[in-house]
Amino acid sequence: MSWLDFAKAAGLAALVLAIDVLVAIAVVFAWGMLVEPGHPRAYYETAGVPIARGSTRVVGTALVFAAAWLFSARKPERNPFLFSVALVVLYALFDGASVAFAGFFTASVALTMSLKLLAALAGAFMALRTRRRSLARSVELRDAGQRV
């Protein structure tokens, strides 16, 4: 992988983190407005943490999977597994830096990052399968054209 690929992974990690945070905020806001309206702000600040954590475990993991799959499949010469690991490591660094690493080294965060790593590796595997399928299809079409 080139330095440009690492830069792309960093940009993608920042984008995925930003989308993940925005979705978590939207989920907590919707929960506060629709499920538990009428409480003081302190209640929502305390009760919103586990809801946001659950949201990022589901939505963030899906986002990392999709990003790893799409961006690994786009460039066949790039190692998809290395790109996916770089994506998750940089995501974790940006996520930790956003809170100055306060309370970052916990079992809960480790579980969340492990889920994201597994999803990224699954995305890399899917990218390989997609590449192989498209390569086999293009060879098949090329060979069919030569026989005519």
Convert the pLDDT of each residue in 2-60 to its tens digit: 899 999 999 999 999 999 999 999 999 998 888 888 888 888 888 888 898 899 899 99
SS (H, E, C) 34-81: HHCCCCCHHHHHHHHHHHHHHHHHHHHHHHHHHHHHHHHHCCCCCCHH
Residues 6+ apart with CB under 8 A from 75: 5
pTM of the model: 0.81
Q: 104: which DSSP letter?
A: -
Residues 6+ apart with CB under 8 A from 40: none
Cα–Cα distance measured from residue 104 to residue 72, given in angstroms and rounded to the nearest whole number: 28
Convert the pLDDT of each residue in 82-130 to its tens digit: 999 999 999 999 999 988 888 888 898 899 999 999 999 999 999 988 8
